[in-house]
Chains A and B, each alone.
Chain A
Amino acid sequence: MVASLYAFFFIDPWPWWLGGILIGLLVPGLYYFLNTALGVSTGYGNLVKLILPGSRLKWLNSDDYRNVYNWRFFFLAGIVIGGFISARTGGKAWFQWEMGRFTAVLDWSFPLLALWFFAGGLLLGLGARIAQGCTSGHSIHGIANLQKSSIIATVFFLLGGYVTLRIISRFLLGGM
């Protein structure tokens, strides 16, 4: 009984409803206990500031980023730790060089793969700031609050993702 409960929570992948409920609870939970709106991508500004502390760029010196070690830094650090704990309890290797179907199908060298994922990250970072939010801030927090900009942003997240995946699938990964 205890062993199967442990396996359910810490070893096997969770069912969709469990993840959905817990992520959903974060939205009111963050407001109720910390008076804060859920959002991840804004915290990447802290990471930029951490790497370039002397930058004079106005955006990096706005109120949000005056202090690098504000709540966003700790929230993002926690996400990394949470992923770490999950991989340990789930029995994953400490360092994984593959990435699912992408590396299973393509026999690219690691530097080329690194470049691809870095380029995708550039689009994520730039796109999230231009759209003023990401999956957590817009798609979950924003739609849960019925905000129009979040609904529009999410429609375009999904549209961009769908079209891009069709192209990747067609030309790189050999069909759906």
Chain B
Amino acid sequence: MRRMLIFLLYGVFFGFTLSRVGASDYDLIYALFALTDLKLAWVIITAIIVGHLGMRWLHSRGDLDYLDRPIDIKEKSLNWLTPVGGILFGAGWAMTGACPGTALAQLGEGKMLGLCTVLGIVGGTFLYARLVESGIIIQK
């Protein structure tokens, strides 16, 4: 249970950060894709660099967590579905000004249309489960 509480705190930290830096701001996502304000591009690029340096540090100590248990970094599979899903995701990103993480932050902020986005993502995930069930999508 204590472990779940820590996950909750990590989530609070993530949601607060996304909201404070403006990642949950529709106009900043609009400006990102309209190429008029690249603030969020810099946020993502900085996060990638810091994340990469942190992972290098983890590699340097043998890919072990703080209890010296090995960490498992799974590689996601690459196939023709990757670009298809990517385009669909990008279209939704531009339509809503949100991604799955920032939509949750918007919901917390009290944005009612953010709630609609969250419900849509839940629906899209259900749709995926149905398409997998009927064999229309075969993932690896």
Contacts and interface: CB of A to CB of B under 8 A. Distances in A.
B62 interface: no
A80 interface: yes
Chain B interface mostly = helix
Contact of B118 (A16, A121, A155, A162): A121
Interface string A1-43: 0000000011001111111111111111111111111001101
Contacts of B92: 120-125, 127
Size class of the contact patch on chain B: 35 or more
Nearest to B84: A130
Size class of the contact patch on chain A: 35 or more
Contact of A83 (B24, B47, B117): B24
Interface of B: 3-27, 30, 32-34, 36, 39-40, 42-55, 57-58, 65-66, 69, 71-78, 81-114, 116-133, 137, 139
B78 A125 contact: no
Given A82-B14, A125-B123, A135-B100, A92 B110 contact: yes
7 contacts: A20-B42, A44-B122, A86-B105, A124-B100, A127-B87, A127-B88, A144-B51
